[in-house]
Amino acid sequence: MPRRLARYVGHPEPQLHKTCSKRRPNVHRNPTGEEIKDLLESSRNIAVVGLSDSPYRTSHAIARFLQNAGYRIFPVNPNLTGPVLGEEPYATVEEIPETVDIVDVFRRSELTPPVARDAVAAGAKSIWLQLGVYNEETARYAREHGLTVVMDRCIKVDHAALVRR
């Protein structure tokens, strides 16, 4: 047996995280690739819920990517005290003075229902739960109030794959 494989012999199969798509019922259906492309191309303002001011965090890198792709981002994080990526932060989506096209969520799955209520109250058009974030209650509430719902997908990956700017 090759040495590099020998260290794995006898180790149990890695456990899937509870939010992994292989373990949850396939109730929610994301929009098609064409619908996601249309959403991304027609949107201009994106609220990034859970945006960190640390450049080492994924939320920060993706928000920077979205800015560079031509979107206006609105940081939403009640813990932020100063500008992030040149934009003033907000405690909630509803506080944002402009119409929000996409609410991009970097929060744990179980913390997303209040974000959906906030997005609906703000008049947002869609809610996007990042890769690994999945909550059927959030999706149901948002859909019932007319929002497009995308879950367990990365907006940066989808933008890079579907949108040519």
Phi/psi of residue 92, nearest 5 degrees: -140, 165
Residues of the chain with pLDDT > 70: what percent? 83
CA neighbor of 128 nearest in space, from 19, 68, 55, 43: 43
Give the separation between CA 2 and CA 135, rounded to whole angstroms: 42
pTM, rounded to two decimals: 0.83
What tens digit of pLDDT does each residue of 1-27 get? Answer: 444 444 444 444 434 444 444 445 556
CATH numbers and ranges of domains, the chain: 33-94 (3.40.50.720)
What tens digit of pLDDT does each residue of 22-79 get? Answer: 445 556 789 999 999 999 999 999 999 999 999 999 999 999 999 999 999 999 999 9
